[in-house]
Amino acid sequence: MNFVMPDLYPASAEIFLLLMALVVLLGDLFAGRRWLTYLLTQLTLAGALGITFFTIDGRTVTTFSGMFIDDMFADLLKLVLYPAVAMVLVYSRSYLAARNLDKGEFYVLTLFATLGMMVMISAGHFLSLYLGLELLALSLYALVAIDRDSARATEAAMKYFVLGAMASGLLLYGMSMVYGATGSLEIAEVGQRIALGGGNRTVLVFGLVFVVAGLAFKLGVVPFHMWVPDVYHGAPTAVTLLIGSAPKLAALAIVMRMLVTGLADLAEHWQVMLMILSALSIALGNLAAIAQTNLKRMLAYSAISHMGFMLLGVLSGIVGGDPRFALNAYSSAMFYVIAYVLMSLGAFGMILLLSRAGFEAENIEDFRGLNKRSPWFAAIMMILMFSMAGMPFFVGFFAKFAVLQAAIAAKLLWLAVFAVLFSLVGAFYYLRVVKLMYFDAPTDTSPIEGPRDMRFLLSINGLAVALIGLLPQGVLEYSIYATYTFLVGH
């Protein structure tokens, strides 16, 4: 058997990030200077962004025997991923330092989690997809438990590990059944063989059920959402910020790769499953969030409902075997997840800004009277809450609008109306935060303190939510183009 040297060029960003993660690990071990570890980590993300940007050529290229795909869909998600992780590090640094958690392990694990997400986004094979997924998951398990003196964090890490392992088992079992039916592990080839009538249909449908259940666990949608509020609440807020933002990009990628590329001819089955998951997530996520007094738990249930909206975009792509709606639906799902990551970064960033040594600003009451303490950051938080509620004219409104019009175009009017009604219910808990900030007296009158770079970036984050809401065409057009190349390439 002759070994064929794979083309390393399409995976150059991943190779660079892996090498630099090892440099950061060794640099932290021997130098022991946190500012240097932080700087190297940020330079690594900047370097990966530069490599990805300058290697874009609009073509779909596969390498490593079909295990790795470089296309515009992957490139756009990665170009959002790097700044998202960089923002996580900027927002988290002072929080970690105040709690003696500013350790090299945080930065190294964050880089390995980022590498896992990159591999997931470009996976063209069941093995590479699973490898990326486990690299991300294992890094996040360790990050949740990074505060070893916190019983709450340890409990959250154990729950996350046990349920995550079960989800991985379900996904792996589903993949094995699909492999058994089709005789291939390459996602595109699996799709081709199913399209040609290959494989036992019953085995394929059983495999699909396990695959969708495994993906639903990773997305954190109902009824596989049990871990989300506990992990968001129990993890240090800096880690919650990471879990609640960037991995959503990778989650969209694996849903698209697995279901749209590999199992498109089983759409009549997985579409019904996603419909149920989407409706339950939008309903339960918004209803459960109303009862929360802890902002991190509220945002966890909010994330469940937002992932339900993202699935609504995905399931609207193929209706009755007709793929005419695919471009509109999948690009709306992509735009939605990009908008959600931007909003989530800002919301958790505000919690980190108000937190200080010995005090976690994680309860809704902690935002009481914020306008009197800092009118500027109260306005930023108001923009973020309005956007998450889907109020015009912020990015969250246009994200919801894009998904809903895709659902209506796909003749899923009842589901679109259902989603709108529960969005109105969800507006209550977002507006409650705004009411506390502007109409209640502050319990703490101390000035808002935080690193200058964090305050500047958080301001840019909030303004971006408003600006992209006013001018969404640019991001929408890139999402449509990336989705078009994804569909044409497969």
By mean pLDDT, which of 25-34, 276-285, 337-346 is the weakest?
25-34
Is 3 part of any domain?
no
Supply the DSSP string of 276-301, one letter for each residue. HHHHHHHHHHHHHHHT--BHHHHHHH
Supply the pLDDT for residue 103.
Answer: 85
pLDDT exceeding 70 applies to what percent of the chain? 98
Each residue's pLDDT tens digit, 71-92: 899 999 999 999 999 999 999 9
Residue 271 forms part of a structural domain: yes
**Reported confidence tier of residue 326, pLDDT bands at 50, 70, 90:** confident
| pLDDT for the residue 211 | 93
Domain of 349, in residue numbers = 9-489
**pLDDT for the residue numbered 392:** 86
Q: Classify residue 120: in a domain, yes or no.
A: yes
In the prediction, which pLDDT does 172 show?
93
Helix axes 452-470, 72-98, angle to 10 degrees: 140
What mean pLDDT, rounded, does the chain reach? Answer: 90
295-324 pLDDT per residue, tens? 999 999 999 999 999 999 998 887 766 677
Q: What is the pLDDT of residue 196?
A: 85
Percentage above 90 pLDDT, the chain: 63
Q: How many CA atoms lie within 13 A of 75 on its CB side?
A: 23
- The token pair at 270 is 């997985």
What does the pLDDT read at residue 9?
85
Name the pLDDT band for 256 (thresholds 50, 70, 90). Answer: very high
- CA quadruple 268, 332, 231, 139: dihedral positive or negative? positive
Cα gap 278→256, rounded to integer Å: 15
Residue 332 has pLDDT above 90, yes or no: yes
| Whether residue 268 has pLDDT greater than 80 | yes
Which pLDDT tens digit goes with each residue over 8-34?
Answer: 888 999 999 999 999 999 988 887 788
Instruction: Tell me the C-alpha distance between 143 and 166, whole Å.
Output: 19
User: Are 27 and 37 in contact, with CB atoms under 8 Å apart?
Assistant: yes
Distance in angstroms (rounded) separating the CA atoms of residues 251 and 341: 12
Average pLDDT of span 457-463: 94
Report the pLDDT value the prediction gives residue 441, as an integer from 0 to 100.
82
Q: What angle do CA 71, 174, 264 make, to 5 degrees?
A: 45
Quote the pLDDT of residue 490.
58
Count of residues in the chain: 490
How does pLDDT run across 194-238, given as a tens digit for each residue?
A: 888 877 888 999 999 999 999 999 888 988 888 899 999 999 999
Asked if residue 1 has pLDDT above 60, the reply is: no
Looking at per-residue confidence, does 190 or 197 come out higher? 190
pLDDT band for 2, please (50, 70, 90 cuts).
low
In a domain, 168, yes or no: yes
CA 293 to chain centre: 24
Number of domains making up the chain: 1
Query: Which tens digit of pLDDT belongs to each residue from 387-431?
Result: 999 898 899 999 999 999 999 988 889 999 999 999 999 899 999
Residue 482 lies in a domain: yes
| pLDDT confidence of residue 489 | 66
What confidence tens digit (pLDDT) does each residue in 138-178 have?
999 999 999 888 888 999 999 999 999 999 999 999 999 99
Domain-located, residue 4 = no
For residue 1, is it within any domain? no
